[in-house]
Structure 1
C-alpha cells in the first residue's frame, strides 16, 4: 500500500474519533502540517471530510453515504457463515449463530455435523433464554433494563436436572459469564448435549449476537468441550465481531 493511501486511511480513522485541526492531525501522525493539510483537502474534495467553522476537519457526508449504501453487505449471517464453517470443520460439531432481534434471540444460522445426531434447533427458531449458551452469552452483556424487559414474566421451565429454574439462578450464571467472557449449557435443555458459547460485538462494542458449538456428551462432555474448542470459539466470535467493526481487545482465557 502506498504511503499516501496509508496516510489517508490514518486520517480518516483519526477523525472518526472526533474533529481536529490540521496541526493536531500532523502531530498525531508525526508528519509536517502541509502534508496533513494536503491529504485532508483531497479527502474534503471527495466529501469524505468536512470543514468546520472553527478550522477543524471532521468526517464528511460521503462517509455516511458510503456506509448507508454498503449496509446490506453487513448482514450478520452472511458475514459469519464462512467462519462458522471453519469452526465446524475442526471437530465436526454443531455450530449455532444466534442474533438479538428487539426483545428476542433467534437462531440465524446453523452448521450441522456430518457424523453425529442432528439437533432439533432450526434457523428462525427462538432461543431458550435460560438454557442455551448463545442466549446466556447475549443476556449477560445487555444493559440491566434490556435484560429485565426480556425476562419479565419469563417462565423458567425445568427441562433436565441441570436446568436453571429461577431468575436468581440465571443471574448468578450471567455474572459468571461476564467475568470469564463465555457461557455454557451443561445439558440444560437436552441432557445428552453440552455447549459453549461466546458473545459477538458490533462496531460500538454492544453484544448483538453469539456463536456456540454443541456436542453429544457421549463424545465430549462440557469439560472436554472447553479444553478442545474454547480457544477456537473465542477466536471465531472475535473474528465475526471485527467483521462488524469491533476494534476492542479480544477475550483471552
Structure 2
C-alpha cells in the first residue's frame, strides 16, 4: 500500500498527494503563490523552530551521509556500524538522515555504544520511516531546512558510498566551506575504491581546467578504515554546538 507521511499526518490510497511540498514551493506555473506562499513561509519557519528547539542542547556531533540501499550485513553497512560506535565512544553524537542502509547502521552503532543517535528525516513521495535505532528524530518537509540542521549541528562529516542524495550533501558542505560561508570542518570520504574515480576526475578535469585550487581538493580526506575515519573527523575535539559552531551566513 502506498503511504505518504506529512509531519503528523499519514495519507494512503486516494489521499496521497500528486506532488510534494517542495514541488509546490518551487512551481511558478500559476498565480497560486499570491495566496499560498505566505502561509508556506510560516510552515517553513515552523520547521526551523522545531529543528532548532530539538537540537539546541545536542552536544558535539558528527554527520554521517550514505546510501539508504546499503544492505544489512554488507561491508558498507558494517563499516557505518563501526563508525557510529566509534563516534559514540569518542564522545560525539551521530546525526544521519534517519533512514535505512548506511543511516540505520551509523545510528545503530551509536545507540548500541550508549551514544545519542539522531535522525533528520525527510518527507518523500514513497514511504520511508525512521529507522528503529534513532533516539532523537526530527522530520522535515523541505530538504533545505533539513540541510541547515545538518550543517548547523555537525562539526564534521563522514561520507559513505551513496547516490544522488549523498553527492548533493557532500557538495553542499564543500561549497559552503570553500566559500567561507561556514567555518572549515573535516569531511572524510569512506571507501577509496568508490570515491577514487571522483577524486581523479576532480583532479584531472576540474583542477586541471582551473576550476578549483589545490586547497579545495585538500578539503577531502579518504580512508578505508572505520577507526581512522572517526579519528580524522573528530581530530579537533568536541566544540560547543548551535550558534557557536557552523553558523551559516
Q: Smaller-chain TM-score range?
A: under 0.3
- TM normalised by structure 1 equals 0.25
Question: Which has more radius of gyration?
Answer: 1
- TM normalised by structure 2 equals 0.26
Higher relative contact order, structure no. (Cα contacts within 8 Å, ≥ 6 residues apart): 2
